[in-house]
Structure 1
Amino acid sequence: MEISSSIVTDYYSLCILLLFTALLLPFLLLRKRNKTYQLPPGPSGWPIVGNLLQIANQTIQVYLQKLHQQYGPIYTVRLGSQPMIMVASHELAHEALIEKGSMFASRPPAQGLSKLFSSNQTSINSAAYGPLWRTLRRNLVSETLNPAALNSFRKGRERAVNLLIDALRTEASQNEGAVKVVDHLRRAVFNILVFMCFGIRLEEDAVAAVQNVARELILSGGRLPLDAIFPKLRVFYRKRWKRMQELRQRQLETFLPLVNERRTALAEGRAEDCRAYVDSLLSLTIDGGRKLNDGELVTLCSEFINAGTDTTSTTLQWALAYLVIHQEILRRNFGRGGEGEKGARGGCAENGLFGGGGEGNAATASAGKAGFDARRH
């Protein structure tokens, strides 16, 4: 209902913008330049509003998918008066981001909600290509994603896998063996990422609170970014702007206590023995030596968790689907999956996940079997 209401509100706002367009059209025609650009194909649009009226009754993702089917792997769409070139091919993405990376490395200035949720572009995903972006990226790679740091998160991974196995067993026993795997995978990945980010073990209700805020933030990105396209017309989007400000406040209220808990634990020498992402952020200096403020810390922690959750859980879904088709791989990897069922009750240790036999293998095989049953159902 909320998304439908938002679409209706956006539609009426766009009608008002169309009226402005009609009034300004003579002026625009007088200023029209003869210069043309060699742009990829795409739908024609109105002056000022571009293709926004065509998007008004659907999500932008659905609209872009239709354009991809119609125009191919690269096409032009106009959100407002500025053309945007969309790439929907891994070959072209590799050419743009790898072969010609320096040409496409930077990002435009943030407007509206993008500026609000990125703490004025203080995140890896939003920062312009330059010293700040390099500092943030280097910190993530060298302090959190290096082998030694990843190994320090082992206890968090083992705990998440054990919770996953318990959840799969519980749902399977209550539903004649059928399990909706995606929700459990997403929760398991989320548990791991929260531990990697904050270095603390949260109870399920606390994890759910963080996950709800993160999910709402992701879903809000599916709506038209009209405030960013027409920042001077924010008066038409007061309700949405207020909702997003409230979401930002909930994000701060949810994430900041976790940051402060880790900060206090580090100061008192009782922190969990792992190299959490927030540890590096607390000591990081940017912009000539200043420390990150609380809003920037929350933005970077939120970026870390959101960037890893859906991509990782989707990869795991793909792997499970692949193993449904090629079950000989499962048998080759786990061998004794059927005969180890009782031993699996004891939990899962990471050193038993991949080869080597033992309870960890049996537990993983049991979890895999539950997943395959779910896919068949």
Structure 2
Amino acid sequence: MDSVSTAILLLILALVCLFLTLSSRDKGQLPPGPRPLPLLGNLLQLRSQDLLTSLTKLSKEYGSVFTVYLGPRRVVVLSGYQAVKEALVDQGEEFSGRGEYPVFFNFTKGNGIAFSNGERWKVLRRYSLHILRNFGMGNRSIEQQILEEGRFLLEELQKTEGQPFSPLFMLSRSVSNIICSVIFGSRFHYDDERLLTIIRLINDNFQIMSSAWGELYNIFPSLLDWMPGPHRRMFQNFGRMKDLIARSIREHQASLDPNSPRDFIDCFLTKMAEEKKDPLSHFCMDTLLMTTHNLLFGGTETVGTTLRHAFLILMKYPKVQARVQEEIDRVVGRSRLPSLDDRAAMPYTDAVIHEVQRFADIIPMNLPHRVTRDTAFRGFLLPKGTDVITLLNTVHYDPSQFLKPQEFNPEHFLDANQSFKKSPAYMPFSAGRRLCLGEPLARMELFLFFTAILQNFTLQPLGAPEDIDLTPLSTGLGNVPRPYEMRVILR
């Protein structure tokens, strides 16, 4: 054996010993789980199915709290409503860190509001919430913008004249325009190339991240950095999005009036100028780029994907669609668009929207969390820095919380008197300290767009309702609905 071969063998042996040492550390304090292999971790237990299905299957063997190795990375997995609630809500501070998510970290490097940690995250979240509220998020001023955008959407739907079309871009343009108006100061025309580029890049990345390639990259990022595949396009898309945002920021800088901010970017630029002499300031250009991207991604993809799931479900269950339309006609009529004031008088419609979110389960494994200190949890001790996966899918499909979790059933959110009933296991926006920043805006958009469309149109599938397949095209970061075309018939 030559010296090079000997050196390689010794290196491999050293890596194996290091892995075995690290994997055994704290073993007595961590939850149980399948025994990992050196470097590969629990890949053999995860390889045959998508990660969500594999982790759910392991939870049936090891319980609601268990340890698993994604390659060399150790994570603790929480399954079921009770375990997830105890962590994210009851011990929210300890579980408030953001865990490692390589497909995003490759781009953000831990910067931006969604993927930062520690003091930076607290400062960015507090400031972003303040600015977003000033620009109407969650109150009536943004409601008027959504209603106006809804009218543009209705006009586009009417132009289809009953012909088949894909709802993907139709819905995404309207949804994206709401967050764009907050970030950039104005909406885009529906054929504006900047808006179309934003939607294409975000949708393509969401699909790649939700595919097997996205999951594989999260397990072996260093290896896949050297391999060809769709994940390379994902990082090209990130770069293009960064360039697009940087261009908008330059335009804002050229016309900035600190005394009269027009939007989120103006406010952030003003804050950067105020703190430019502070070497510890969290307000810098890269943070603005990453936070803007986080807001665009979250504000475009989740609501648009939820609405696509909703329309597919309503076409499969036309009686549900008809009952929603009857409630809209009875409460609102046809002379005006539904408003948020109407929601309290529309319990069935509200229940249908909540059930769509539960059933579609858009982000089934949540973004990973991280414990911020050594944390006692259910008789175990999770060392500071331990990444935690909270399976929101097992919350939304927990039989202790929902009578028939595998079925689409609006009765899950209605009481015996057919009044709307909240559920503590409703967590489409996560829960606790890392609750989605845009939850108030997203809920407003879902109600107003959903009711406006059903007030004016009946949704029709191209085939038989019973042939509609509601199983996702792919499951990873998100549950992506299968591509479909539909018709809308003016009522």
Q: TM-score, normalised by structure 1?
A: 0.69
Tell whether 2:63 aligns with 1:95.
Answer: no
Q: Which structure features the higher share of helix residues?
A: 1
Question: Could you tell me whether the CA contact under 8 Å between 2:112 and 2:288 is conserved in 1?
Answer: no
Corresponding residue for 2:289? 298
Question: Could you tell me whether the CA contact under 8 Å between 1:74 and 1:88 is conserved in 2?
Answer: yes
| Alignment counterpart, residue 325 of structure 1, candidates 310, 320, 323 | 320
SS in 2 for 1:174: coil
Tell whether 2:248 aligns with 1:161.
Answer: no
Corresponding residue for 2:241? 251
By how many angstroms is 1:138 displaced? Answer: 0.8
By how many angstroms is 1:136 displaced? Answer: 0.6
1:321-359: per-residue Cα shift (whole Å, max 9, x none)? 589527445433333888x4xx7xxxx768699499xxx
1:85-126: per-residue Cα shift (whole Å, max 9, x none)? 122434322211221112112235x686544422x3222221
Return closer, same or farther for 1:275/1:100 CA change in 2, 3 Å cut-off: farther
> Whole-Å Cα distance in 2 between the matches of residues 310 and 198 of structure 1?
17
Tell whether 2:457 aligns with 1:370.
Answer: yes
Question: Could you tell me whether the CA contact under 8 Å between 2:40 and 2:71 is conserved in 1?
Answer: yes
Question: Could you tell me whether the CA contact under 8 Å between 2:64 and 2:80 is conserved in 1?
Answer: yes
By how many angstroms is 1:137 displaced? Answer: 0.5
| Alignment counterpart, residue 145 of structure 1, candidates 122, 133, 137 | 133
SS in 1 for 2:118: coil
Q: Which amino acid aligns with 1:277?
A: F
Q: Which structure features the higher share of strand residues?
A: 2
Corresponding residue for 1:280? 267
Tell whether 2:171 aligns with 1:185.
Answer: yes
Corresponding residue for 2:186? 200
Bigger mean CA deviation after superposition, 276-285 or 290-299: 290-299
1:110-157: per-residue Cα shift (whole Å, max 9, x none)? 686544422x32222211122x11111111211103584554445642
1:165-191: per-residue Cα shift (whole Å, max 9, x none)? 12332335113xxx6556543332122
Aligned-pair RMSD on alpha carbons? 4.5
Question: Could you tell me whether the CA contact under 8 Å between 2:172 and 2:300 is conserved in 1?
Answer: yes
| Alignment counterpart, residue 335 of structure 1, candidates 325, 330, 337 | 330
Question: Could you tell me whether the CA contact under 8 Å between 2:135 and 2:182 is conserved in 1?
Answer: no
1:191-222: per-residue Cα shift (whole Å, max 9, x none)? 21222221122233321101112223333434
Question: Could you tell me whether the CA contact under 8 Å between 2:19 and 2:72 is conserved in 1?
Answer: no
Return closer, same or farther for 1:55/1:158 CA change in 2, 3 Å cut-off: same
Return closer, same or farther for 1:74/1:354 CA change in 2, 3 Å cut-off: same
For this pair of structures, how many residues does the alignment match?
Answer: 339
**Unmatched runs of 5 consecutive residues or more in structure 1:** 1-18
> Whole-Å Cα distance in 2 between the matches of residues 32 and 190 of structure 1?
44
Return closer, same or farther for 1:336/1:74 CA change in 2, 3 Å cut-off: same
Return closer, same or farther for 1:84/1:133 CA change in 2, 3 Å cut-off: same
| Correspondence 1:1-377 to 2 at 5 A | 24-25=15-16, 36-55=27-46, 59-61=50-52, 63-64=54-55, 66-67=57-58, 73-107=64-98, 114-118=104-108, 120-130=109-119, 132-145=120-133, 148=136, 150-154=139-143, 156-171=145-160, 173-175=162-164, 181=167, 184-203=170-189, 204=191, 205-222=193-210, 223=213, 233=222, 237=226, 239=228, 243=233, 245-267=235-257, 276-285=263-272, 288=279, 290=281, 292-316=283-307, 321=313, 325=320, 327-335=322-330, 340=334, 354=342, 367-368=454-455, 370=457, 372-374=459-461
Question: Could you tell me whether the CA contact under 8 Å between 2:175 and 2:303 is conserved in 1?
Answer: yes
SS in 2 for 1:145: helix
> Whole-Å Cα distance in 2 between the matches of residues 304 and 181 of structure 1?
22
Corresponding residue for 1:6? none
Q: Which amino acid aligns with 1:174?
A: Q
> Whole-Å Cα distance in 2 between the matches of residues 31 and 336 of structure 1?
62
Q: Which amino acid aligns with 2:329?
A: F
> Which structure would you say has the larger RCO, counting Cα contacts within 8 Å and 6 or more residues apart?
2
Q: TM-score, normalised by structure 2?
A: 0.55
1:240-281: per-residue Cα shift (whole Å, max 9, x none)? 686555333212222222233344444499x9xx85322332
> Whole-Å Cα distance in 2 between the matches of residues 139 and 277 of structure 1?
10
Return closer, same or farther for 1:185/1:70 CA change in 2, 3 Å cut-off: farther
> Whole-Å Cα distance in 1 between the matches of residues 258 and 218 of structure 2?
43
> Whole-Å Cα distance in 1 between the matches of residues 263 and 257 of structure 2?
14
